[in-house]
Amino acid sequence: MLRAGWGSWRACLLWGIATAIVSQSFAFFMPAELAHPIPGASITNPVLAFEFARTPAHLDAVFGLPGDPLRAGRIAGMFQGNVFDYLFMVVYGSFVLAFFGASAKATGDPRWWWAGWLGPLAAVSDAIENALLLSINADMASPEPELAALPYFVWIKFIALAIACGFAAWAMVRQRAWLPAILVFPPAVAIWVGAAAPYRYGEAAIFTIFIAWVVMLAFAAWQAWRERRLA
């Protein structure tokens, strides 16, 4: 069952396409911009700014101050988007798992499956993070307990995904795909800079993961096409 759903390049391609479609669907829910800039921060993405939030002032930057006529709409949109996010966890966790399942089959080394479980690990941490975000949106008056716990699950998620990118680069090297490997490796380094200074470098660090996923998806498409042609 596991190998059928996550153990081939075709499965990886399908999970990757699903990940791309779902990721673009967030635009229907999430706020498009911050309510106002965060002093000293370079971050512009309101979803990441919410995930990186540490204080009520950060939340005000994302959603607006009490009395802002757009505040309620931003909160409602973020709440809906984070409910939808549970679907995203399923597809991206499966995409990462399937990449390594396919790599295990291609290289004849079943140990790649162990790297694949970084995807579901990230998704589980993301689910806990999401519960905290939904709780904050449900009671914006007293978010401090959730804000205190939030960083642990945010960075378990992103670090797991970044390490998975590092392993994916090595899996590509083992398959003699040198250029894709070079493009997929950067998150394994960049994530530590982002974690150290989320509001300054976090957005750029997370962006390297999405670049790596695009390359992984293209690689899966190429391998699936080759398999079909040689079949």
Residues 6+ apart with CB under 8 A from 133: 50, 51, 78, 82, 146, 150
Question: Mean pLDDT over all residues of the chain?
Answer: 95
- Please report which confidence band the pLDDT of residue 230 belongs to, taking 50, 70 and 90 as the band edges: confident
Q: Which of 94, 79, 91 is nearest to 131 (CA)?
A: 79
**What's the pLDDT at 205?**
97
- Give the pLDDT confidence of 158-171 residue by residue, as tens digits: 999 999 999 999 99
Instruction: Determine contact, residues 118/164, Cβ cutoff 8 Å.
Output: yes
| Nearest of 194, 23, 155 to residue 92 by alpha carbon | 23
Tell me the two tokens of residue 199: 């509001």
Q: State percent of the chain over pLDDT 90.
A: 92
- Read off the pLDDT of residues 41-90 as tens digits, 9 standing for 90 and up: 899 999 999 999 999 999 999 999 999 999 999 999 999 999 999 999 99
**pTM of the entire predicted model:** 0.95
| Rg of the Cα atoms in the chain | 19
Q: Longest Cα pair distance anywhere in the chain, in angstroms?
A: 63
pLDDT digits over 121-139, tens only?
Answer: 999 999 999 999 999 999 9
Residue-level pLDDT at 231: 62
Domain definitions of the chain by residue range: 2-230
